Amino acid sequence: MFLNKRKVIFLTSIFLLVLFLTINDIKSQQLKVVDGDTIHLDGKKIRFLGIDTPELKQTCIKDKIENACGVTAKKILIKKIGNNSVECITEGKDKYKRILAECFVNSKSLSSYLVRSGYAFAYRKYSKKFIKDENYARANQLGMWSMKFEYPWDYRKNK
């Protein structure tokens, strides 16, 4: 197929326009990490489905030293996201009207990452999806599994 100069310029222009719009769209994403399992993405409150992280005020004990494990879970999520775009697959809403979703960075599940690192738990009450990740973290004493802790659902119940 033979392309004349005008067609090449036209196709190049279209390609550059699409590229510019795509890059611009990614950079315009508004993201706020609320805690280890909740984000605000483009004005929508999203709760990660199937996991539970410690509350921000929740602490854990390691070697007789109190650790802010809830804050650590949030920091780990912030670091994992970095400057990347977050994409979420929504699966409904919870009783607080938050969007329930599994969110990804570079096609990798943030929920799986948090559970596997030991700073989130498989929330078996709602999903069995992350049990293998939790078993890995527990077996390798990662994150909170190397500390004395209270499960987030028990912590909330006792407060």
Q: Which domains does the chain have, with CATH numbers?
A: 5-158 (2.40.50.90)
Residues 38/55, Cβ–Cβ less than 8 Å: no
Pairing of strands 121-122, 99-105: unpaired
Those residues whose C-beta lies under 8 Å from the C-beta of residue 44, and which sit 6 or more positions away, are 99
Nearest to 113 by CA among 90, 136, 91, 92: 136
Confidence at residue 159, expressed as pLDDT on a 0 to 100 scale: 82
pLDDT of the chain, 159 residues: tens digit per residue: 555 776 656 656 565 545 454 444 444 589 999 999 999 999 999 999 999 999 999 999 999 999 999 999 999 999 999 999 999 999 999 998 999 999 999 999 999 999 999 999 999 999 999 999 999 999 999 999 999 999 999 999 988
Side chain identity at 59, as an amino acid letter? T
CA atoms within 13 A of residue 57's CA, in its CB half-sphere: 4
User: Which pLDDT score, from 0 to 100, does residue 4 have?
Assistant: 72
Q: What pLDDT score was predicted for residue 29? A: 83
Residue 15: its pLDDT value, please? Answer: 58
At 69, which helix (H) or strand (E)?
helix 69-81
CA distance 110 to 94: 19
Strands 86-93 and 65-67: unpaired
Sequence-ordered list of residues with C-beta below 8 angstroms from that of 109, at least 6 positions apart, any chain: 102, 103
Beta-carbon contacts of 97 under 8 Å, excluding residues fewer than 6 positions away, are 45
The position carrying tokens 């049990």 is 131
For the chain, what percentages of helix, strand and coil (3-state, to nearest 5) are there?
Answer: 40, 25, 35
pTM for the full predicted model: 0.80
- How much is the pLDDT for 10? 61
